[in-house]
Amino acid sequence: MISIMQSIVATPVVPIDQLLDQVAPSWAQFILWMPLISLALCGLCGAFKVKSKAPAVITIVSLATSFVLTLMLYIGYEGAQIIPIFDWIQIHWSGGSFIANFALYIDSLTLLWMLFVTGLGTLIAIYASEYMEHDVGKGYTRFFAGVSVFLFAMSCLVMGDNLLMLYLGWEGVGFASYWLIGYFYQRPAAVAAAKKAFIVNRIGDLGLALAIYLIWATFGTIQYDGIATALAAHHGDAETFTTFGGWTVHAIPYLLMLAAFGKSAQLPLYVWLPDAMEGPTPVSALIHAATMVTAGVYLIARTYPLFQLDEYALPTVAWVGGITALFAATIGMAQYDIKRIMAYSTVSQLGYMFLGLGVLSSYGAAYHVFTHAFFKAVLFLTCGAIMHGFAGQLDLRKLSGLRKMRGWKIVSYTMLIGCLCLAGFPFTSGYFSKDAILAEAFVTQGPGFKMLGWLAIFTAGLTAYYTFRVWFRVCCGPVHYEPGDELHGDDPATFHPHAPRIAINFVLIAIASGAIIAALPYFMENKTDGLTGGWVAEMVNDSPAKAGVPGAVATHDAHGDHGAHGSILGMDPHKAMYYISAVVGMIGLGLAFFFHLARRKAADSLRSKLLASNATRWLPTAMENKWYVDEFYIATIRTPLWILGKLFALIDRGIIDGLLVNGIAGIPRAIAKWFSPLHNGAVQSYAVSMIGGAALIVLLMMFMPEIMSFLQSTLIGATP
Amino acid sequence: MSPWLLLLIPLFGAVAIFLTKAALSKWISLGVSLFVFVISILMAVQFEQWGSIGTGLRSETSWINSMGLTLDLGADSVSMMLVLLTTLLVPLCVWGSFSAITSRRKEYYAWLLILETAMLGVFLAQDLILFYVSFELTLVPMFFLIAIYGGKNRAHASVKFFIYTFTGSLFTLAGFVYVAWQHSQTGAGGWSFAIHDLTIFASTQLSSTEQGWILLALLAGFAVKIPVFPVHTWLPLAHTEAPTAGSVILAGVLLKLGTFGVYRFVLPMVPEAVVAWAPLIAILGIIGILYAALICWVQDDVKKLIAYSSVSHLGFCVLGLVALNPIGLEGAVLYMINHGLSTGALFFLIGMMYERYHTRDMNMVGGLAKSMPVWSCFMVFFVLASVGLPGLNGFVSEFMCLLGTFVSTADAGQWPGVLGPKYAAVAALGMVLAAMYLLIMVGKIVFGSLKEPDTTDRGSLPVDLSIREIGILAPLAALCIWIGVQPTILTDAMRGSVEKVLSPYPELVEKYRPENTTPIPVITPDSPTPDKEDQHG
């Protein structure tokens, strides 16, 4: 292998543009490797059929190490830097090269994401160690291996220094999600949901792949700093990019959007996320609420300058986000499965984040990602605790008064904290982060942004309603419960819910505290001049997404003068929003209190009244049936394609093979009847004919000049 | 070491098998094929042409001087990689047949070794006739492997396979002979079949009309082999009926004979015709990708599904071949290797399932994760490699083929092409469809509740994979990861060969560029500006 080794050594090392002269801390790569080490050890546990909680311990320790390393990296952070690890894909040819190294790009946006990804990852792994204990010795190892794969892929996605590494992580988290949604692989619904998640995400991945091709064709590189350099050289002017006639820079943001909307479950690609709730609840909390689904927000924030090259790119993001937020909230209002309600709520909240990105509040979007990660995780984890304790029961009509039951206090009150944050109750973390987005909708000039703002405020009211619908139903009222269908052999008549123990309770308290504390960054003093918005603004300001930070000097502002504030009802939007959203939230909460605690029967009678009238029947029906979107996709995409497949299979057998191939083959067969002694089917005669044929060919070759001149004279009529 | 060792050792092995007891035949063939593998590794280590344009491993032997026939052997870096792929897959196939083949063992293993000789002959031949003879010689052992050891419909499948591909390659021979004849007319030294001479002659001396006809003649044989839509229908039949080892060799190596033929003959010999025909070939490739993918979706027979997926996958390879730029062509060569590894492994897996359940119908078996967890892990792994999950091998080559197609525009700087974003965007839909049909397949046979046929006869096999079977799959899995993580080693190694093949193209594409487009060199900041006036002058 000497020569291969030489070619490794001889591979020209591309000089990495040193952003800073400081020495890059190479230990940072272990943030990535720890989950991979954990995966390898889990694999060993699987191979040796370990029947203990060892996989959980391994995973928790390695994820905690990742978290500590991230924290160290954050503390020592002084500016963006690249940490090369190894050469991954380097294709050189004369005149160019395509380079995608396995390297890390650390800036504050990366750190912001990695802090909550590794932090929550560790906590949720601790939770899962108790939650999954029924499966010790069965799927326990597989579960933690999947979590490790996820953390590795997510770290690649967030920390990669180029778009191909992001793509590696992007598909990697999709695969981890497939793995974990399909954890209960004997349940058809889980298998179908896993498949659906992967395939729908692939449509988004297609957008990302095409965007990468376009970016490489346009900028000559897919490394973030290379793209930034190219953009700076063009002074961010879209007209100066002339690749393929200049349309590329206008197509890139829309393709990236497709990717982001797939991974972050926005219209029209959100359909996989509600089904993904078939996975174990810790997975829903970690992947499908707190971390993976925010990858789309990260992608757009990371490539924010590219979105500013097209006039309508960011407004499209805003509108898709705003409409998804409303749409998902209306579905969430009408569901009975509390985990599904949380799933639709996640889709809705992600819509807010995209709204934030679209209305030039990347800061608000990032802050909402951060707070949402905590409060949505705690909501899912409490749902999980309930599901765990009540044998799979998730129907809010069959659970009541948990707050008054022994051992369920922590669950009830941490759920309350999550609900308050999600509903945007004044002075909770969700209140501040949501307001940062809403206010900016009124500040930034854009097509219909004011209307979007009001739409989002209305959605905030719906959010408060459906959130407290859950809490008032499940945690308040008289004590009453029915077990679910996962009894594990218990008798339903003598069923006793088993309350969560120390690991689950500890994690619930820890994350709920996080959800409360997440309000503090808003009040942290800003070091940068003229910057408001606290710690998150500071983090985003040092990244490509800084154009959407309040008070920051935007390098390129596509949407008019950022300094000229709009107003709501004659007030400064930021101030007005504090009052408006508080009032709207209270109205939603009040309605929930009335219908789901004070007069529970009123809700049912309202529903039956609506259903009784021909004029209004469509509304609850459509909402309960999720606006028939799945059915629509099946009818318009899946079924036609499947029929096409069937048709092609028929054509392949009947026409291409049957008519054409066999038809042509029939001609010599007819001729061959003359030579029937040769065609006796025995294999030996084939061999004989082949030798005969070869001899014929040799003869042909020898007389080729004569044959050719004959052919030329007869066919073309000219003598050579 | 002489490359003849690679051809002769398997042949001697086949003779040895005939001379000894049937019980020994599997061990002899395993030993011989492993020995060949070791020799090929040693040759690869000594091979001095990695990354350069030259031909290594040369051996020149005259054969019939009066007709210019020689027995020259040699390999450039791309041939060498395919040689390694072949010598790796053959011992695995032999090992994989230990439990499946119980009768007529002598013939079986002898044919496998003869097949190895023929395949290596194709990759190593430096003489057109030697190439052609080897190319056709692969049909004979494969014919017998299918006809004797195949499934229910084996007679029909084997005859169809033989006649279809044989008929196609007769046209290829006609094309070759025409080139050689023209060469003998103009050259001083009479007949010559040296690939090197004829390539230079055909690419420089023949008119574009002649090149067009030669392209059609050559493709008639190679397109059937690849197979390109619409001449693919022999493949699903042959794959479904072939024994496991036959399918593995068929998918792993025999299909690559077609793409290798395009790489070695079509691209260098008739560049002008390729420039003119590339869009049409690419469109056939794209139709193949989407058409076969949709057919895969509605299959019930797993083996047929994987067979159709080969048609779909090789569409990407075809695109890379006609992208006419280094990234696309390197992607195509890498695709040949990757497809051989991952699809080969999938056929092994299906075979292992078949040996236990004697059915390949997805409605009959399902949920095997419960009964065969190890098998299921491998299945999911190779499906992911096939789907193109980044970090595994399939991704790199698929990405390169599509990227090459994407930037293969007339104004793409130093390496202009005749395709472009439209082609790549449509072909990329194949990525989504591949995920769809492969994951649906996994969802049926790996996951869900366990479903086994009533009459399950595993013979002497354990419920899950035996050590032998894991030993077959593990090296393939390791290679999939290695290529996925370190593809640069391979792409650097093939670089010289690829650029040599492509060397006439930039000028030709420039020559046939539509008049009114202006060159916009933006692919790489440092690429020189192609000067339109100069090229036309």
Residues in B closer than 8 angstroms to A279, CB to CB, are none
Cα angle B341-B347-B349, degrees, rounded to a multiple of 5: 100
Taking alpha carbons only, the member of B136, B120, B128 closest to residue B199 is B128
Candidate ranges A642-651, B362-371, B465-474; pick with highest mean pLDDT: B465-474
CB contact under 8 A, B50 and A7: yes
Res B191 pLDDT > 70: yes
Distance between CA atoms of residues B47 and A482, nearest Å: 73
Residues in B closer than 8 angstroms to A97, CB to CB, are 524
Here the ipTM equals 0.90
Residues in A closer than 8 angstroms to B415, CB to CB, are 93, 95-96
Mean residue pLDDT across chain A? 84
Helix axes B393-406, B487-502, angle to 10 degrees: 30
Residues A410-419 pLDDT 10s: 999 999 999 9
- Mean pLDDT within B62-85: 85
Q: Which is more confident, B209 or A512?
A: A512
Nearest CA in chain A to B485: A88
Surface of A (252-271) touching B: CB under 8 A: none
Res A460 pLDDT > 90: yes
Alpha helices in B194-299 (DSSP H): 195-205, 208-225, 234-241, 244-249, 255-261, 267-269, 271-297
Confidence of residue A631 (pLDDT cuts 50, 70, 90): confident
Tell me the nearest-neighbour CA distance from A708 into chain B, angstroms.
9
Query: What is the predicted pLDDT for the residue at A489?
Result: 64
- Return the number of CB contacts < 8 Å for A and B: 218
Interface contact B148, partner A, CB < 8 A: no
Range of the domain at B507: 313-537
Sign of CA dihedral B148, B154, B158, B161: negative
CA dihedral B199, B204, B208, B209 (to 10 degrees): -60
CB contact under 8 A, A96 and B413: yes
Query: What is the predicted pLDDT for the residue at A18?
Result: 44
Surface of B (302-361) touching A: CB under 8 A: 325-327, 330
Distance between CA atoms of residues B147 and B152, nearest Å: 10
Residues in A closer than 8 angstroms to B291, CB to CB, are 648, 652
In a domain, B440, yes or no: yes
Res B422 pLDDT > 80: yes
Which of A11, A98, A182 faces B492 most closely, judged by CB atoms?
A11
Distance between CA atoms of residues A204 and A174, nearest Å: 11
Surface of B (211-230) touching A: CB under 8 A: 230
Surface of A (463-482) touching B: CB under 8 A: none
Tell me the nearest-neighbour CA distance from A43 into chain B, angstroms.
11
Which of A241, A645, A656 faces B294 most closely, judged by CB atoms?
A645
- Mean pLDDT within B399-416: 87
CB contact under 8 A, A93 and B526: no
CB contact under 8 A, A220 and B524: yes
What total of structural domains would you count in chain B?
1
Task: Please report, in angstroms and rounded to a whole number, the separation of the first and last CA atoms in chain A.
Answer: 55
Residue B332 tokens, joined: 């195509």
- Mean pLDDT within A268-284: 90
Residues A430-444 pLDDT 10s: 999 998 888 888 888
Res A137 pLDDT > 70: yes
Tell me the nearest-neighbour CA distance from B504 into chain A, angstroms.
14
Taking alpha carbons only, the member of A369, A307, A306, A335 closest to residue A158 is A369
Greatest CA span in chain B, whole angstroms? 76
Tell me the nearest-neighbour CA distance from B498 into chain A, angstroms.
9
* 8 Å CB contact between A296 and A337: no
Query: What is the predicted pLDDT for the residue at A708?
Result: 61
In a domain, B96, yes or no: no
CB contact under 8 A, B369 and A185: yes
Taking alpha carbons only, the member of A514, A535, A540 closest to residue A122 is A514
Which of A3, A199, A686 faces B435 most closely, judged by CB atoms?
A199
In a domain, B52, yes or no: no
Taking alpha carbons only, the member of B212, B501, B123 closest to residue B329 is B501
- Mean pLDDT within B476-504: 92
Tell me the nearest-neighbour CA distance from A498 into chain B, angstroms.
29
CB contact under 8 A, B297 and A641: yes
In a domain, B462, yes or no: yes
Lowest mean pLDDT, pick from A546-550, B253-257, B286-290: A546-550
Res A329 pLDDT > 90: yes
Tell me the nearest-neighbour CA distance from B519 into chain A, angstroms.
10
Tell me the nearest-neighbour CA distance from B491 into chain A, angstroms.
7
CB contact under 8 A, A92 and B492: yes
Query: What is the predicted pLDDT for the residue at A677?
Result: 53
Confidence of residue B420 (pLDDT cuts 50, 70, 90): confident
Distance between CA atoms of residues B90 and B99, nearest Å: 16
Nearest CA in chain A to B42: A1
Tell me the nearest-neighbour CA distance from B28 into chain A, angstroms.
26
A591: Cα separation from own chain's centroid: 33
Query: What is the predicted pLDDT for the residue at B62?
Result: 75
Which of A94, A220, A686 faces B525 most closely, judged by CB atoms?
A220
Sign of CA dihedral B74, B75, B80, B82: negative
Distance between CA atoms of residues B123 and B103, nearest Å: 32
Give backbone dihedrals phi and psi of A19, rounded to 5 degrees, phi first.
Answer: -75, -35
Query: What is the predicted pLDDT for the residue at B48?
Result: 80
3-state secondary structure of B413: coil
In a domain, B271, yes or no: no
Lowest mean pLDDT, pick from A618-632, B1-15, B353-367, B384-398: A618-632
Query: What is the predicted pLDDT for the residue at A96?
Result: 83
CB contact under 8 A, A89 and B162: no
CB contact under 8 A, A195 and B424: no
Residues in B closer than 8 angstroms to A644, CB to CB, are 294
Omega cis (within 30) before A268: yes
Res B182 pLDDT > 50: yes
Residue B313 tokens, joined: 């996958």
* 8 Å CB contact between A305 and A544: yes
Omega cis (within 30) before B230: yes
DSSP class of residue B531 equals: P
CB contact under 8 A, A93 and B389: no
- Mean pLDDT within A370-386: 93
* 8 Å CB contact between B355 and B403: no
Tell me the nearest-neighbour CA distance from A163 into chain B, angstroms.
12
Interface contact B164, partner A, CB < 8 A: yes
Q: Per-residue DSSP letters for B302-360?
A: HHHHHHHHHHHHHHHHHHHHHS-SHHHHHHHHHHHHHHHHHHHHHHHHHHHHHHHHS--
In a domain, B19, yes or no: no
Tell me the nearest-neighbour CA distance from A184 into chain B, angstroms.
9
Res A625 pLDDT > 70: yes
Give backbone dihedrals phi and psi of A86, rounded to 5 degrees, phi first.
Answer: -155, 165
Of chain B, the percentage scoring pLDDT greater than 70 comes to: 95
CB contact under 8 A, B428 and A206: yes
Residues in B closer than 8 angstroms to A648, CB to CB, are 291, 294-295
A636: Cα separation from own chain's centroid: 24
Residues in A closer than 8 angstroms to B162, CB to CB, are 686
Residues in B closer than 8 angstroms to A702, CB to CB, are 67
Surface of A (97-136) touching B: CB under 8 A: 97-98
Nearest CA in chain A to B527: A95
CB contact under 8 A, A242 and B143: no
Task: Please report, in angstroms and rounded to a whole number, the separation of the first and last CA atoms in chain B.
Answer: 48
Residues A508-562 pLDDT 10s: 999 999 999 998 888 887 777 777 778 888 888 888 888 878 765 443 344 444 4
Nearest CA in chain B to A641: B294
A683: Cα separation from own chain's centroid: 58
Tell me the nearest-neighbour CA distance from B48 into chain A, angstroms.
7
CB contact under 8 A, A89 and B396: yes
